[in-house]
Structure 1
Amino acid sequence: MTHKSSHLDDETFLAQFEGQTLDPACFDHLGHMRLAWLYLNRYDLETAVESTCRGIKLYAESLGATQKFHYTLTDAMVRIMAMRFGKSGFDSLEQFLDMNPDLVNDALGVIHQYFSEEWLAQDSARCSRVEPDLRSFAN
């Protein structure tokens, strides 16, 4: 599965993202997943979650898109990716994406297995991590 940021190697992608110089066209849904994938492969879960959330928030702010960032959605996506990553070994992001088409095509639907729309609509969910109201990540 090809994504818009695939012309960049991982180090360049991360450096541009962290330096807030990454072209927004490279940071679509698959770009978000690539970032989470890279951090999950470099750090423990909590550090990967925190780095992903903090980084996306700062990147959104640098683009003047502060309302686009949703902490709990980002946190949940990284945790779901980590759960799936832990169940099977994946050699590449492309292999992971190919084996998890629901995360590519309907990530919100997957997240709604854990969170109700009402729960995610809370201001606290947008600004910080809230625990799932439907199903725990531990299950």
Structure 2
Amino acid sequence: MRIKDHWQYTDDKYEKVFESYKLKPGLFSHEAHLRLAYIHIQKYGVEQAEHNMCNQIKGFAESLGVYDKFNKTVTIASVKAMHHFMQNAKSDNFKDFIQEFPRLLSNFKDILGQHYGFNVFADKRAKREFIAPDLLPF
């Protein structure tokens, strides 16, 4: 079977494939990133999810020879934002969750923009270390 997107994997399999850096890079979309955060928050709690996501996304990028793509602030902020929405969710799985909160897919930069008064996606310091929000805490 040819894998066309991350939905071809169960949550457990998706987590394992990503963790082992065997996911095809084209499958790691924004939605796939959010799904991974959702899985980690559910399984390990928000603090461990932040740690796991930073290590795994950085490792994934480096395994592809991409050393300037990883952004620690965006990764941690993504987990924090996901956690906030998860606490308010009625759904109990990612597919329903993302339908409940579609703006996580369509307006994610705007969501982070409510917390940061600068372009956190391009900031060099934000790539290396977590910068706490300067506008609105998570």
Alignment TM-score > 0.5, same fold? yes
Which is worse superposed, 81-90 or 120-129?
Answer: 120-129
For the structure 1 residues 74 and 107, does the alpha-carbon distance in structure 2 shift closer, same or farther, using more than 3 Å as the test? same
Gaps of 5+ in 2: none
For the structure 1 residues 105 and 118, does the alpha-carbon distance in structure 2 shift closer, same or farther, using more than 3 Å as the test? closer
For residues 31 and 123 of structure 2, what CA distance do their matches in structure 1 show? 26
**1:89-128 Cα deviation digits (max 9, x unpaired):** 4211011111111110121111000012255543221111
Contact 2:40–2:49 (Cα < 8 Å) also in 1:
yes
Contact 2:89–2:97 (Cα < 8 Å) also in 1:
no
Matched residues, number? 135
Q: Which residue of 1 aligns with 2:47?
A: 46
Letter of the 1:88 partner, please give it.
A
For residues 6 and 115 of structure 1, what CA distance do their matches in structure 2 show? 31
TM-score (ref. length: structure 2): 0.90
Contact 2:21–2:63 (Cα < 8 Å) also in 1:
yes
Q: Which residue of 2 aligns with 1:108?
A: 109
Q: Which residue of 1 aligns with 2:80?
A: 79
Q: Which residue of 2 aligns with 1:4?
A: 5
